[in-house]
Amino acid sequence: ELIHKIGFTNGSVERRIADAANEPTYLLADVEVVKTYKLYNLNANKLENLFHKLFASAKLDIEMKDRFGKPYKPREWFLVPLEAINDAVDKMKNGTLINYRYDPNTASFVDQ
């Protein structure tokens, strides 16, 4: 309930995660889609980078080996409750996200 991957895809999410158990990006495990968002008129790469910076203090810090034994550090996994992600998306939509920072101790947004 607390570990979430935050990223984007231009295609189908289901197709993107179809082989998750064999991809270090997905921690070599099956994953479940818990929420998707459709946002328009935004640069998806910049938005993803913004959300990664926003939640940087809650980034999952692990190193694992891929299926070939090569070290890999997943970058898009965060210890953030879904409610906080939903809140960030809502703040992005209404233009107020810039006024807040994420506090991992309270798992919520606080004024800048």
Q: What angle do the packed helices 82-94 and 44-54 form, to 10 degrees?
A: 130
**End-to-end CA separation in angstroms for the chain:** 27
pTM of the model: 0.89
Q: What is the pLDDT of residue 19?
A: 93
Tell me the per-residue pLDDT of 17-74, one tens digit each, with 9 for 90 and over: 999 999 999 999 999 999 999 888 889 899 999 999 999 999 999 999 988 999 999 9
Q: What is the pLDDT of residue 42?
A: 86
Q: Which two tokens stand for residue 53?
A: 């910076």
Residue 65 makes CB contacts below 8 A (sequence gap 6+) with: 71, 72
Sign for the pseudo-dihedral over CA of 35, 82, 5, 40: positive
What average pLDDT score do residues 4-13 get? 90
Instruction: Please indicate whether residue 39 or residue 109 has the higher confidence score (pLDDT).
Output: 109
- Which pLDDT band holds residue 94 (cuts at 50, 70, 90)? very high
